[in-house]
A and B are shown apart, each in its own frame.
Chain A
Amino acid sequence: MASRIDAPAALRAEALSKAYGSRRALRDVSFSAAPGELVAIIGPNGAGKTTLLQILAGALEPTAGLVSLDRHEVGWVPQQAAVYSKLSVRENLQLFARLEKVKDVDGTVERMLAQTGLGDRADDPVARLSGGNRQRVNIAVGLLGDPPVLLLDEPSSSLDPRQRERLWAFVTELATQAGTTVVYSTHNVAEAERYADRLLVLADGELLFTGTPADLERATGEHDAHDFEGAFVRFLHDRGH
C-alpha cells in the first residue's frame, strides 16, 4: 500500500480555491494521488467535497489553482446516476462512448458491460434497474474513455448494504487490477476507513488532514481506537468544526 502512495502522482491538485461571491467553498486545497491509489474525501455537509471533485473532473472552473490532468483524462461519476432512464444500458453506453469519441464503440461497450457485470441487463431500460445497477451504469459511463483516474461522488449513498459491498468490490478491483486511481467522496466514515488507502478530511472548504486511516486515529491521540467515526468527529471537534 505504501509503495502505491509513494509512486509518481497520477493526479495532482495545487492550491485549488473556489468562491461563490463572498462565500469560499474551497480554500487553497493541494493534494496528489498515485496510480492505483484509493483516496477518500470525507467531511461534514458543506465541507466542499463535491466542489473539489467537480473541479478535478473539469465540470467546474476553480477560482484559483491547478489540476494536473485534462478533463478527458479523468472519469467522472456524479452522485446521482447521470444516464437516460428511457434508454437501455447498452444505448446509454453507446451514446456516451460516441460522445467521448471512443474509437471502438461496440468493443468498448461490451467490455464495460462485462466489467460491470451488466451483460445480462444490457438491453433493459435504465429505468427498470435497481439503484445499485443504475450506479454501475453510471460508473461504466465514467470509465468509457479508459481514464487513468476515476472520480466518484458519494457512490454508495443510495445503495443498500449488499449493493454497497458489490460496488466496493468492483471499485477496489479497478484500483488493484487495472491500476486506476480512484478518488471518492463519502459521508460514510467507516467506508472510507475500510476501502481507502488515504483520507482527505475537508471542513468548510479547508483541507484539514491527509493521511491513512491509521494516521487519522493517531492524530486524535487514541492509537488503539476501534471507533473510527468517533475519532473522526473528535478530530473535527478539536479543530473547531
Chain B
Amino acid sequence: MRWLLLKDLQILRRSPLLVTLLVLYPLVVALLVGAALSSGPSKPKVAFANLVPPEQAKIDVGEESLDATRYASELFKRVDPIRVDSREEAIAKVESGEALGALVIPADVIGRLQGTLGLGGGDPPTVEVYYNAENPLKRRYVEATIDATLADANKALADEIFKESARYLNLIVAGGSIDLPVVGQVDILGLRNAQRIIEAALAGLPEGAPSRPALEQVARFARLADENLDVSKPILASIATPVDVKETAIAGTDTSLDVFGVEVAVVISLMFVTLLLAAGMLALEREEHAFGRLVRGLVSRTGLLAEKIGLAGLCAWALAAVMLAVLAAVLDLGWSRTPVWLVALAFAAVAFAALGVAIGGLTREIRAASLLAFMLALPIAALALIPSGAVGGTLYDAIRIVSAVFPFKPALDALDAALSGTSILTPLIHLAALTLAFGAIARLALKRFT
C-alpha cells in the first residue's frame, strides 16, 4: 500500500494544473460561501425624499427638543440612500428600478406628530413607503429595514414622552417650577407640600371645628395621590417597553456568524478536495486499466480503497488544517482546542474520502467521477445549510434525514463543537458510521470492476 500511496503522490506532483485547480477551486468557493454567510445582505438602494423643511425638523416634547433627522441617519446605516427632492422623483426611481424602494417623509409629519404629542388631536403622522417587488428577497429586506428603523424612531419618541411625563408627575407629587409658554415660570405646590400644609392647619384647629372633616378629606386625598402617583412611573416605563425579551438557545451552540462562516468555508473546502481526490484517484486506476492488474494478487480491493481514502483524507486534512489555522488567526479564535479541531477535521476527511471512493467505484473514468462528485457535493452542502423554520416541518424532516446520510452536516457539527468547546463525540460517531457505510458501498461497487 505504501508503494501505491507514493505512486499516487508522484502522479499528483506531476499534475500541477490539476492540483492547483483542486486546491484553488474549493478554496475560492469556500471563501465566497463563508463570506456570504458571515456578512449580511448588501445594502439595498432606497430613494429618500424628506419633504420636511429643515427649520421644522425639531419636535418639542415638553421642554425637550428632538431632532427628526437623527432617525433618518439611522436608516441610512442600513440602506444605500438616493436622496431626492420630491415624492414624484422618489416614485420614479422605484419605477425605473434604480431604487428598490422609496421612503417619503411628508412636509406635515412633524406638525402632526407635534399635535399628537401635545394631545391636540388631528390625524396621526404618516410616512410613505414605496416598494419595487421585482426581487422578493430584497423587497423583504427593505421592508424589514424601514420597519425596524421606524420602530426605533417610535421607541425613541416614546422614551422621550415617558421621560417628560415622569417629570410632570414628579412636579405634581413633589412640587417645583415649570416654564410654560406665554405664562412663563410658574411655581407648583405639589401634593406632598399640600398635604403637609393641610396637616399643619389641621393640627391648629380645635377638635370640633366644622371645617375639620373637609380638610381631613383633602389631606387623605393628597397622601393617597402622592403614594399612588409614585407607583405610576414604572407603569409608564412598562408602556414605553411593554415586552422584555429573554433569549434561550434550545439546540446548537452560540456560534457567532463569523465563526459559522469559517466552519462552512473549511468544511466545503475539505469536502471538495477529499471527494474529488478520492473519486478521481480510484477512477484513475480504471482509466489507466491498472485496476485489474493491481487486484490480481498485488493488492486487495479493500487495501486499494484504504489507500485512496488515506491519500485523499491526508491531503484534504492538511489543506483544511492550514485553512482553519489561517482563519482562526485572522478571527482570533484561540488555539487551546487545536488538537480537537484536528481530530474533527480528520474524522470529517476520512468520511468524505469514503464517500469519494464510493463515487469513484460507481464510475469508470475520472471525468465522470469528478462530475458525479460535484453534482452530489453542492446539493449536500446546500441542504445541510437550510435552517429549521425556513421550510415546512415535513420537508425539513426529510432534509435532516438526507443531510444525516452524507458527511457534510456531521462534519459541520463536529467542527462547530470543536470550535465552540462542546462535546464532539456524537458527530464523530456519526462520521465514523458514515465512513463504514460508504466504505462498504465502495467495496461492493469494486466487485463490478475487472
Contacts and interface: CB of A to CB of B under 8 A. Distances in A.
Task: Indicate whether A and B interact.
Answer: yes
Interface of A: 54, 57-60, 71-72, 76, 78, 80-87, 91, 95-96, 98-100, 125, 141
Contacts of B297: 58, 71-72
Nearest to A142: B293
A82 B288 contact: yes
A72 B297 CA distance: 7
Contacts of A78: 289, 292-293
Contacts of A98: 3
Given A95-B3, A95-B7, A85 B296 contact: no
Size category of the B interface is 10 to 19
A141 B10 contact: no
A84 B299 contact: no
A83 B288 contact: yes
A80 B450 CA distance: 13
B10 A59 contact: no
A96 B296 contact: no
A83 B290 contact: yes
B288 A100 contact: no
Q: Which of A59, A80, A100 has the most CB of B within 10 A?
A: A59
Interface in B157-184: none
Nearest to B4: A99
B296 A87 contact: no
A73 to B, nearest CB: 10
A84 to B, nearest CB: 5
A80 B296 CA distance: 16
A137 to B, nearest CB: 12
Contact of A82 (B4, B11, B292): B292
A82 B297 CA distance: 15
Given A60-B450, A84-B288, A99-B298, A141 B14 contact: no
Nearest to B290: A82
- Of the listed residues A76, A78, A80, the one surrounded by the most CB atoms of chain B closer than 10 A to its CB is A78
B286 to A, nearest CB: 10
Interface string B424-450: 000000000000000000000000001
Nearest to B11: A86
Given A84-B7, A86-B10, A86-B14, A96 B292 contact: no
A85 to B, nearest CB: 7
Contacts of B289: 78, 80-82
Contacts of B217: none
B394 interface: no
Given A78-B292, A81-B289, A96 B298 contact: yes
Contacts of B10: 86-87, 91
Contact of B293 (A82, A87, A125): A82
Given A58-B296, A71-B296, A80-B289, 15 more contacts: A59-B295, A60-B450, A82-B293, A83-B288, A84-B11, A86-B15, A95-B3, A96-B293, A99-B3, A99-B4, A99-B294, A99-B298, A99-B299, A100-B298, A125-B14
Contacts of B298: 96, 99-100
5 contacts: A54-B292, A59-B296, A86-B15, A95-B3, A98-B3
7 A-B pairs closest in CB distance = A99-B298, A82-B289, A82-B293, A80-B289, A59-B296, A86-B11, A98-B3
A79 to B, nearest CB: 8
A57 B296 contact: yes
A4 B4 CA distance: 40
A141 B294 CA distance: 11
A105 B114 CA distance: 98
Contacts of B7: 84, 87, 91, 95
Highest count of chain B CB atoms <10 Å: which of A60, A99, A141? A99
B230 to A, nearest CB: 88
A141 B293 contact: yes
A71 B295 CA distance: 11
A1 B3 CA distance: 42
Contacts of B4: 99
Contacts of A95: 3, 7
Interface in B294-309: 294-299
Contacts of A87: 7, 10-11
A92 B303 CA distance: 20
A16 B232 CA distance: 102
Interface string B1-26: 00110010011001100000000000
Contacts of B15: 86
Interface string B65-98: 0000000000000000000000000000000000
Nearest to A94: B3
A143 to B, nearest CB: 13
Contacts of A59: 292, 295-296, 450
Given A83-B288, A84-B11, A54 B450 contact: yes
Contacts of A141: 293
A87 B284 CA distance: 13
A84 B294 contact: no
Contacts of B290: 82-84
B367 to A, nearest CB: 15
A86 B292 CA distance: 18
Nearest to A54: B450
A132 to B, nearest CB: 17
A59 B289 CA distance: 13
A213 B290 CA distance: 34
B295 to A, nearest CB: 8
Contacts of B450: 54, 59-60
